[in-house]
Structure 1
Amino acid sequence: MERIHRLRGLMAAEGLDAVVLTTSHNVLYTTGYRSVLEKWQLHEPLCAAIVPLDADRPVVLAIPEANLALLMVQEEAGKPDRAGEIRVFDMINFCEVMRSADPAAAASTIGKASAELYGERVRGRCEPDVLASIAATLTDHGLDRSRIGFDDLRGMHRLDSLGFTGSDALETLIRSRMVKTAPELEAFRRVGTVGDRALAAAADALRPGVSWDEVQFAVADAMVRMDATPVDEGAMLFGGTFQGAFLPELFRTRGDRPLDAGQIVILETQGVCEDIWIDINRTAVIGEPTPQYQRLHDVLRDAFLKMVDRMRPGAFTGDLARIAHDHLVAEGVPVPDKLLVLAHGIGHMTLEFPFAYPAQGRAGTTGFEIEKDMVISLDCLYFGGELGPCHMENVYIIGDGGAESTYATPLQLMGPR
């Protein structure tokens, strides 16, 4: 499998014999496993993946025994897991209850299939918890005294009695995930169409008198009908009110005040579809924009396109902000320093930076080298006060010839006219 091959190459370069993964995004990346339990956002992991460096050893997925049937449900839905071996453990007392015999219960097809799957793919016994399952896996595969990377150092510290040499492998996993496989790239193209349609739903909902909340409800409804999950209960990242004033640059505040003619509205549509983040952004005006604001938007668009033209293998994302800033200066845009440019990887998470923790601080602005088959979201926000904010964002697949947008929505000023 291409993902595991790339990851193993990075592991070899860092001298790791195996990686132990307990964050849901990395388990999904390496095994294809996902469940509703990860959406509970508990403080402890309820799944794990162990990836050995040796290609003759299997990729192991550890899950609660009660979730075993979920693997068959996923496969029937066309999303089979990619693990070579399954390990199981108890989750509170759920698994114990599931194992209890019930003479009155009718035999089920999924129960029969689960028993067959257990016999074919599950190794070892049902362990009392996820850490015990990881420990048994490492020991059974002769990795207990090896060099092991962890994406959560809690596991490393709790399992140190196994005698391994442990290290932080979170950055390694992010760097592996930054370059996508061919199936992932095709999924981004499909998800791009969903993003376009969700943004169109937002634009269609805009009109004088409608509230920001009503716009968000319309977008959330459209996304759910396309099997996409909105970012949260709001579906739109920007917009809201503060002390009665509509402020499009606020993050997720309630907005029940009607939109008025002339208002600027930031349409940032976010959510997840096919385990991939949607991240598309356009700016709209309720009614006709002023000539001055239309020019500001067009200048920002041209700066955006200049940055896109530089997004090629071997280029450096840290150079993009300067390109856009210089264009705003040349065009006489007031306070060009109010321009924010952010180029980031995107995939199972909305922000992926190939830096060591804490990458979400200032390190995220330093930039990284662009590689072929990376998928990069280019985010361009201008928050100058004279004319108002302006914002646009697209997600791009990096090819040999440059950047391919996954979204087809034109980079134009939107809104009812």
Structure 2
Amino acid sequence: MPLSPPLTTSHFNFVLPRARRYMAQMNINALVLTKAEDIYYFTAIASFFSYQFKPSPSSIIILYRDDSIPTSIILNEFEAASTQIALPTYDLFTFPVWVDVDDPSDLTSELSERPIDAPIELMLKQLQKALSKAGFSTGVIGIDSQSLVKTHYDLFHSVLENYQITDTKLLLNHVRMIKSELEIQLLTRAAQITETGINEAINKLDVNVSHAELVNAYQKGIHQFHDSQNSRFHIISIAEHFSPIYHPSGIKTKMGDLIKFDCGVEVRGYGADLARTAILGEPTKQIANLYDIILQSHLAMLDEIKPGLSMSKLFKDGIERIRKLGLKRYNRGHFGHSTGVSLALEEYPFISEQSDACFESNMVMCVETPYYGKGIGAIMIEDMIRITSTGIELLSHNPRTLTIVTPSTT
């Protein structure tokens, strides 16, 4: 089974000039990035240390506004020994960790004492060395301050005391909200695999099936595919137990239960997020009416989306529509968000009343219309879409109607 393609030159040719344009607009000379997903986005280096050993930074990259200066990459010696770096030009700096990589051909070099963790002080020395080699002694440096705990932020700040420090959150939000063609390909694949997993879980549905069994069916569905590393999340809810359950549970289904599947698979660092709803047996009149309201509003929102439309207008129209259809107290903070490499699952921009963004071509958005009711359960429809020059392209294709499952026994 073929794997999805890795991030390559075509991706870098899209994202690097885009980042540098925003750096120029914000008068930032260099970005010092420590989050795993930011490092991956700009270099295709999926550092295991950075992804797993949060919140302590384990790798650093420095992206310079001047494109004649190679990107500085600071990795531990263990990962640097075998990491294939896809960037056409870069400068690599390394620091030791507890793992030693032996060179059988070298029997003369002295052995040095190994640390027991990823030493941030040694990493910061390499940061200073990289800036010096780049000839970059003054200017404005952008740091994602929210990704660093205060102790680490203070250490970075002390090392960079000769520079003006600014936050990169706004810049990174705007750079990443428009996707490269390769990103769209990966997100499309993630959506396809997620839908397969949801379908497998729905096929498992019956009376007296546990939440753990549904999670297991979903996991089996997605792991048929070699490029689905993991499920970023899977919020499978049964009836009134609609708050997210982190660990598999023994809660079991019964006749008439609504079951919500809100799930997302990751493919090469890019995560899907979509949702569908099923019911065991025929819905009551109340549930059928609720679902019809949610479905009508969801489809109307999808029809309304086009480049130039403000996300705040779509949100206001959605709230007004649902209330006019009969759910007069319907309330919600947002109707969806972007998705991509962020480990926080939901990325800027959001379809909310406070949003300052408009839809643009080649955004990938997750448009969701949920309802949660005490004594009723959860209803949710969420689609992944690509914004085109005239409207949208659906990346999720499972039916949006309520899936009615006939139990094998009643």
Moved more, 273-282 or 377-386: 377-386
C-alpha displacement of 1:183: 1.6
1:35: which partner in 2?
Answer: 47
Render the CA deviation track for 1:302-331: whole Å, top value 9, x for unaligned. Answer: 101111122222111122232222222332
- For residues 216 and 354 of structure 2, what CA distance do their matches in structure 1 show? 37
2:101: which partner in 1?
Answer: 98
Render the CA deviation track for 1:185-216: whole Å, top value 9, x for unaligned. Answer: 22222222112211111211211111011100
Local SS of the residue matching 1:136: helix
- For residues 364 and 132 of structure 1, what CA distance do their matches in structure 2 show? 43
Matches within 5 A, 1:387-398: 387-398=376-387
Render the CA deviation track for 1:74-97: whole Å, top value 9, x for unaligned. Answer: xxxxxx532621423224332xx2
Match of 1:19 among 31, 37, 42: 31
1:270: which partner in 2?
Answer: 264
Q: Is the 8 A contact 1:71 1:81 kept in 2?
A: no
Match of 1:366 among 354, 357, 365: 354
Q: Is residue 150 of structure 1 aligned with residue 153 of structure 2?
A: no
1:416: which partner in 2?
Answer: 405
Q: Which runs of 5+ in 2 are unaligned?
A: 1-12, 108-119
Q: 1:297 to 1:393 in 2, by over 3 A?
A: same
- For residues 51 and 401 of structure 2, what CA distance do their matches in structure 1 show? 36
TM superposition outliers: structure 1 runs of 4+ over 6 Å: none
- For residues 393 and 352 of structure 2, what CA distance do their matches in structure 1 show? 23
Q: Is the 8 A contact 2:315 2:352 kept in 1?
A: no
Q: Is the 8 A contact 2:369 2:382 kept in 1?
A: yes
Local SS of the residue matching 1:216: helix
Moved more, 3-12 or 43-52: 43-52
Count of aligned positions: 371
Match of 1:288 among 282, 286, 289: 282
- Residue type of the partner of 2:160? D
Local SS of the residue matching 2:237: coil
Local SS of the residue matching 1:292: helix
1:377: which partner in 2?
Answer: 366
2:164: which partner in 1?
Answer: 165
Match of 1:352 among 343, 347, 367: 347
Match of 1:57 among 59, 66, 69: 69
Q: Is the 8 A contact 1:61 1:83 kept in 2?
A: no
Please identify which structure carries the higher helix content: 1
Q: Normalising by the residue count of structure 2, what TM-score does the alignment of the two structures yield?
A: 0.83
Q: Which runs of 5+ in 1 are unaligned?
A: 73-79, 105-126, 356-362
Matches within 5 A, 1:116-155: 129-152=122-145, 154=153
Q: 1:308 to 1:364 in 2, by over 3 A?
A: closer
C-alpha displacement of 1:415: 4.1
Render the CA deviation track for 1:361-400: whole Å, top value 9, x for unaligned. Answer: xx97512222221111112111244754311111111111
Q: 1:354 to 1:209 in 2, by over 3 A?
A: closer
Identity percentage over the alignment? Answer: 20
Q: 1:174 to 1:16 in 2, by over 3 A?
A: same
Q: 1:302 to 1:216 in 2, by over 3 A?
A: same
- For residues 103 and 8 of structure 1, what CA distance do their matches in structure 2 show? 42
Q: 1:150 to 1:341 in 2, by over 3 A?
A: closer
- Residue type of the partner of 1:157? H
Q: Is the 8 A contact 1:89 1:128 kept in 2?
A: no
Local SS of the residue matching 2:397: coil
Q: Is the 8 A contact 1:270 1:277 kept in 2?
A: yes
Q: Is the 8 A contact 1:345 1:376 kept in 2?
A: yes
Q: 1:364 to 1:328 in 2, by over 3 A?
A: closer
Local SS of the residue matching 2:136: coil
1:107: which partner in 2?
Answer: none
- Residue type of the partner of 2:215? Q
1:75: which partner in 2?
Answer: none
1:313: which partner in 2?
Answer: 307
- For residues 339 and 211 of structure 2, what CA distance do their matches in structure 1 show? 27
Render the CA deviation track for 1:209-236: whole Å, top value 9, x for unaligned. Answer: 110111001111222332324446xx52
C-alpha displacement of 1:292: 3.2
- Residue type of the partner of 1:352? E
Q: Is the 8 A contact 1:238 1:266 kept in 2?
A: yes
1:407: which partner in 2?
Answer: 396
Q: Is the 8 A contact 2:281 2:405 kept in 1?
A: yes
- Residue type of the partner of 2:396? Y
Local SS of the residue matching 1:185: helix
- For residues 143 and 50 of structure 1, what CA distance do their matches in structure 2 show? 11
Match of 1:324 among 293, 315, 318: 318
- Residue type of the partner of 2:140? R
1:237: which partner in 2?
Answer: 235
- For residues 167 and 257 of structure 1, what CA distance do their matches in structure 2 show? 48
- For residues 352 and 135 of structure 2, what CA distance do their matches in structure 1 show? 38
C-alpha displacement of 1:250: 3.9
1:122: which partner in 2?
Answer: none
